Amino acid sequence: MSRTTKGWDKQSKYKYRNRNTSIVARVIENPAYRDGMVSADRKWIAQIVVETFSGDYRLKKREFRSKTEARDYILDYVDSNPEPEHTCTDCGSKELAYGSKSSSNGKLKVWADCSECDHEMPGRHTIQS
Ligand SMILES: [Zn+2]
């Protein structure tokens, strides 16, 4: 049985997808923790991303010690944002085009370009699940 929060479809206990946008709220295990790079208080990552053909564009990210805390964070987001939007930080337009570019360290970065004012918004590094 899947619980449906207004505007969102529950895909798993730790993943919600917005019905009108490509915005996803999810909890993943921090790969840096698995690799021994960070301590246990950063074991879980709650993230809000826009899923695009070029990759995930990150909107929000927070790290938690417990998976339950991380889940509470995405549930709070889902409950208080029935209609989330990703808009241009310059003109507020919703007409964004996503693409990816290689950054200086060789990692692929997803960018958003505003179709109205040509403002470019580089995405932050997104950790894939
Ligand atoms: Zn704009």
Expressed in percent and rounded to 5, the helix, strand and coil fractions of the chain are 15, 40, 45
pLDDT in tens, the chain (129 residues): 455 678 999 999 999 999 999 999 999 999 999 999 999 999 999 999 999 988 899 999 999 999 999 999 999 999 999 999 999 999 999 999 999 887 777 777 899 999 999 999 988 777 765
CA 86 / ligand 1 centre spacing (Å): 11
**In the chain, what are the domain boundaries?**
2-80, 96-128
CA 23 / ligand 1 centre spacing (Å): 19
CA 90 / ligand 1 centre spacing (Å): 5
- Torsion angle (degrees, nearest 10) of CA 117, 19, 8, 96: -10
pTM over 0.85: yes
Identify the pLDDT of residue 128: 67
CA 32 / ligand 1 centre spacing (Å): 35
